[in-house]
Structure 1
């Protein structure tokens, strides 16, 4: 976007959105959610936050951001964060991870606990649940899944488990028939995840930047895929170091295809295909602390 010397965007827009406004947004979302917005995201930010100005009746970005900084309501902070969160997902995305997960959970002691830390609209935790059902050949495997996200809107979608049928286009007919119920009448063209799968999953809001995640237990696997790319390296390192004590000694950490954790933490080592495991030294330290 081109700007004048005063930082005003060229062209006609409903609201004035200056370079200074954009920098304020970048600072606020980084502080609130750890998201490092690229300079190229100015148009996206304008488009998404302009909806908040219309919804609140506030006439300018300056006034909107002033209100947030001067004690904005929890509801508006939530709406602000939701607006700037990108939620690109699909069932069995990065499919190579799921056979690895299936092999892993078949070899470990029950009950099995898995954390999906960037659940978005639910396709990823449901893919994990389907993998567990297939691994144990039952709709009630000994697996509990915690599915979290910072965005409350997408969590509601995930908890409902209702999707348009075209979301299953890349899924085998056998898998779709086993795990989804087709809508009828007014629900034609929609599908709902079977209740057995929904009962395996607890959806919960978690901001990975918060000091208290409200997450307990020791996990056999943590999925943290395609979320670290929105954080700077120091933030990534802090989050990964907090994952380590929440994992069982033989637990696996699944990352996104474009994410590399080797240079941001010494808690994990690469096992292969963007799958990590605890570093042996870290694993030994955790085992000793748990015996104490």
Structure 2
């Protein structure tokens, strides 16, 4: 797959209709269930085991990359129309209070179900009032939904990540927190270890408590673990991608692309991002790729 394959998701204008694809391109796959949710502040710009795939359009050439069993990346063509078996995702806009936009992306054959109020005490309580986008995102986590939070720098996106960690530890699940650079991994390790204790750190230089339920690491480390088939990656229930807008980076963006593709379908995601264009298309890609 070209390194620029996924960058176009953010750089292109959002299409208003389904793109007509050549008849020599086909894919055999059936889409099923679960949900990917987009939470944004209202003043933001716009916000996506079995076979998995990503496609890109380059003039008249259509390349389709299919991942089989999380290892083999290859291209297939055949007869029939591409979108005969792959309809576009459903998008539902949830009514919220002012300054928060909440959109839900889900497969076309999945019935939309509104969020349910959580039962029992929260996994984590805060000493301050949460902003609307934080409350919406946490409610999505409580409903076991993946979520993309797009908000400006210092808006409080880390609150959502902390709740995901607290929820995973409460439910005795394993969670991985990825960052783009070692310095940020070290910072997050100190912050989360101070609060939760059961936290480990894995960078190219340092490994601390690798058997912890919550592991902090760079995205490169997680990709390497997925390629090796590490036992840790088969146990994880949640993966948090901090600074997911690094996906647009022309040099390193492919690392995020490959990592997301290689993760199993049963994993749920928390994507934290600064304001990005076409966030909705990214959510559609995640929904299509992982059937959620």
Question: TM-score, normalized by length of structure 2?
Answer: 0.32
Greater RCO (Cα-Cα under 8 Å, separation 6 or more): 2
Q: Highest CA radius of gyration, 1 or 2? A: 1
The structure richer in strand per residue is: 2
